[in-house]
Structure 1
Amino acid sequence: MMITVASGKGGTGKTTVATNLAVAVGEGATLLDCDVEEPNVHLFLNPESVIRTPVTTMVPVVDQDVCVQCGACSDLCQFSAITLVAGELYTFPRMCHSCGGCVMVCPNGALTEGTRELGELERGRYKGIELITGRLKVGEAMSPPLIDRVKEAADGKELVIVDAPPGTSCPVIAAMGGTHYVVLVTEPTPFGLNDLKLAVEAVRVLGIPFGIVINRADAGDDRVVRYAEEEGIEILMSIPYSRKVAEYYARGRLLVEAMPEMAEAFAGMVKKIRKAAEGGTR
């Protein structure tokens, strides 16, 4: 089973929910940090025995001596990653989406598959929980391929929790791919409600069961609650806006380990998610 924790915008407490949910599940859970541009799950879990491996992606390599400047590759590429200029073929690796189409359509083998480094994969453990993190190389714009590699590293795992990037763009959709349930984390503010609505629309298009967690629940108004009731969306849990919670968060402590009531609440949320995912409710 795969559970993705997402949010319509950053700063709602998505990573807080993802890490506490994983620890509430306990030994055997696998937590993926797919917020590859700014991964921060490790700040809460502090994993041990971390192993780092580079992640590469395919880019075309041109043999100018063999190229006949037919233009088949540049005509195919929708991202202008390979272009014929003044009788010479140029490649732009950072614009390449690594589909391999240019290599396939080249009539005489002037293009071959090369590689470039996207970032790295980190694997470690925290109290029986495996943490797999993707870390995008500075300056890289293509995060979905690295997100896919992070998820591939968890193939065959019984229960996987994904900490997705914030928002509703391509990286988020990549993180949600193949998931069985989405937890949308929001806050009771006008901005929180607006971005929650965008996230709900995206998840509904994907046809994935989902529910809502309201963070800092008593800091705003009741518009998120009313919206959930109107749309028939289950509120999985509410996290209070309290000095105690804020202090634990600021110290990087997990709520489920520091507060018995939070451990009980997150354990209850795991049960709700399992039930909803099995029933396919939305």
Structure 2
Amino acid sequence: MIVAVASGKGGTGKTTVAVALARAWGARLLDADVEEPNAHLFLRPEISQTEEIYRMVPVVDEGRCTFCGKCKEICHFSAITVFPGTVLTFPEMCHACYGCLEVCPEEALSEGQVLVGKIFCGRGQGVELAYGALEVGEPMASPLIKALKARYLSPGSVSIIDCPPGTSCAVLTAVRGADFCLLVTEPSPFGLHDLRQAARAVKTLGVPAGVIVNRAGVDYPELHRFLKAEGLPLLLEIPHRREIAEAYARGKSLLEVMPELREALVSLLPSLRRTS
């Protein structure tokens, strides 16, 4: 079973929940927040594997090019443009669709490579962790997330994906194919605003979802009205306690400061299996 943990904004406790679930379930954890992965700060794994991930970009042989412009016409992302006597490519805009290579009548384009980032895998605190780290300046997280999922999602076991925050392409790439999505929010106007967007995005993928409220304790009835209207089950509430924030700042996981939550987290898994 694949469980994605997402949120409409950063700072709601998404990684806190993902790490706690991985420890409670003994599940494999994929940190797909590749722009700023931090699950390893809590699990402190011993890294056993490292792999560089590349994406294709076109390389132009101007000696063979006739500057016909067909490559420019097929590119929807303006990653290649043709002038009389020269061709310019913009690797940071290329989505590696191979369209330009396919349509070039002179075979003047070949495959080049750009480093997207690295994938690390290791084990810490009884959890197998794999996470991606996007190369500095690389604008596209999705290729690295796809590579992370392709290499470390195991069909026969329980896997948790700690998704990027927000509702970007990277988030949809991380959630796509999951059996269930846990949406982490907080009882505040900002939390509800971003939960609405996240719930809408997950719904377009056809992935069933439920909600975990972090920093619970503040009375905010608008949140509960939204959950009822959208048919989103409230699966768990994590109390708003100072010691949780202090433990987080020291790199400790939720279960280290609130071991009593383990039973509630363990009981979530069979519930999610029945729902998905």
TM-score per shorter chain, which class? over 0.9
Deviation, structure 1 residue 3 = 0.6
Deviation, structure 1 residue 124 = 0.9
> Residues of 2 paired with 1:35 and 1:80: CA distance?
27
Name 1:144's counterpart in structure 2. 142
Name 1:25's counterpart in structure 2. 25
SS in 2 for 1:56: strand
- Does the CA-based 8 Å contact 1:47-1:126 persist in structure 2? yes
- Does the CA-based 8 Å contact 1:148-1:175 persist in structure 2? yes
SS in 2 for 1:167: coil
Seen in structure 2, the aligned counterparts of structure 1 residues 220 and 252 have a Cα distance that, compared at 3 Å, is: farther
Name 1:161's counterpart in structure 2. 160
SS in 1 for 2:160: strand
Name 1:192's counterpart in structure 2. 191
Name 1:10's counterpart in structure 2. 10
Deviation, structure 1 residue 223 = 2.1
* Residue 179, structure 1, aligned to residue 143, structure 2: no
TM-score (norm 2): 0.96
> Residues of 2 paired with 1:89 and 1:49: CA distance?
43
Q: What pairs with 1:229-240 in structure 2 (closer than 5 Å)?
A: 229-240=228-239
Name 2:32's counterpart in structure 1. 34
Question: For 1:217-264, what per-residue CA distance to the aligned partner results, in whole angstroms no more than 9, with x for missing partners?
Answer: 113523212321232211110000012222222222122244231111
Greater CA deviation, 260-269 or 112-121? 260-269
Name 2:253's counterpart in structure 1. 254
Greater CA deviation, 213-222 or 167-176? 213-222
Name 1:273's counterpart in structure 2. 272
Name 1:45's counterpart in structure 2. 43
What fraction of aligned residue pairs are identical, expressed as a percent?
Answer: 50
SS in 2 for 1:15: helix
SS in 2 for 1:53: strand
SS in 2 for 1:216: strand
> Residues of 1 paired with 2:269 and 2:77: CA distance?
42
Deviation, structure 1 residue 183 = 0.2
Q: What pairs with 1:90-169 in structure 2 (closer than 5 Å)?
A: 90-157=88-155, 158-169=157-168
Name 1:280's counterpart in structure 2. none
SS in 2 for 1:141: coil
Name 1:222's counterpart in structure 2. 221
Question: For 1:123-182, what per-residue CA distance to the aligned partner results, in whole angstroms no more than 9, with x for missing partners?
Answer: 111244221111111111111111101111114342111000111111110111111100
Name 1:75's counterpart in structure 2. 73
Deviation, structure 1 residue 108 = 1.7
Question: For 1:12-55, what per-residue CA distance to the aligned partner results, in whole angstroms no more than 9, with x for missing partners?
Answer: 000001111111111xx211111111111111111113432211
> Residues of 1 paired with 2:142 and 2:219: CA distance?
34
Q: Give unmatched runs, 5+ long, in structure 1.
A: 278-282
AA aligned opposite 2:66: V
SS in 2 for 1:215: strand
> Residues of 2 paired with 1:199 and 1:121: CA distance?
26
> Residues of 1 paired with 2:154 and 2:13: CA distance?
28
Name 2:63's counterpart in structure 1. 65
Deviation, structure 1 residue 269 = 1.9
- Does the CA-based 8 Å contact 1:118-1:136 persist in structure 2? yes
> Residues of 1 paired with 2:107 and 2:35: CA distance?
36
Q: Give unmatched runs, 5+ long, in structure 2.
A: none
> Residues of 1 paired with 2:219 and 2:15: CA distance?
21
SS in 1 for 2:10: coil
Deviation, structure 1 residue 198 = 1.0
TM-score (norm 1): 0.94
- Does the CA-based 8 Å contact 1:188-1:217 persist in structure 2? yes
SS in 2 for 1:122: strand
SS in 2 for 1:239: strand
- Does the CA-based 8 Å contact 1:189-1:220 persist in structure 2? no
AA aligned opposite 2:51: T
> Residues of 1 paired with 2:175 and 2:71: CA distance?
31
